[in-house]
């Protein structure tokens, strides 16, 4: 199950960015969401994904006394990068003819 969660700060970006792009592309092309709903998804989905990716190993048995101290230093940059990737993908998907 170790492949399911990132093992370092850098590898977390390799999880969040592609999943955010995939989520944005699916939301923009497959789901019938309003413009406002798409941008709400852009602000909610990447931070939620980052939160789950960071805390997931601890939910499945890993333990660390300092996990809570390191959480903002991992979740915040992953979330910010995911929001940018999600937003850019939405812009690109809206320009692409259907």
CB 24 within 8 A of CB 93: yes
Q: Residue 37's domain spans which residues? A: 9-52+69-95
Query: What was the pLDDT predicted at 2?
Result: 66
4 in a structural domain: no
pLDDT digits (tens, 9 = 90+) for 22-81: 999 999 888 888 889 999 999 999 999 999 999 998 888 888 888 889 999 999 999 999
By CB atoms closer than 10 A (0-12, 13-18, 19+), residue 90 is: buried
Q: How far apart are CA 62 and CA 12, in angstroms?
A: 17
**What phi, psi does 94 have (nearest 5°)?**
-75, -25
In a domain, 61, yes or no: no
Query: How many domains does the structure of the chain reveal?
Result: 1
Q: Is residue 76 one of the residues assigned to a domain?
A: yes
- Is 62 contained in some domain? no
In this structure, is residue 91 part of a structural domain?
A: yes
């Amino acid at each position: 199950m170790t492949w399911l969660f990132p093992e370092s700060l850098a590898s977390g970006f390799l999880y969040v960015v592609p999943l955010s792009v995939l989520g944005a592309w699916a939301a923009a092309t497959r789901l019938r969401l309003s413009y406002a709903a798409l941008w709400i998804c852009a602000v909610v989905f990447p931070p939620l994904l980052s939160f789950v990716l960071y805390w997931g190993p601890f939910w499945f048995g890993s333990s660390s006394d300092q996990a809570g101290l390191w959480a903002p230093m991992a979740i915040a940059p992953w979330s910010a990068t995911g929001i940018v990737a999600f937003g850019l993908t939405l812009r690109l998907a809206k320009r692409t003819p259907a």
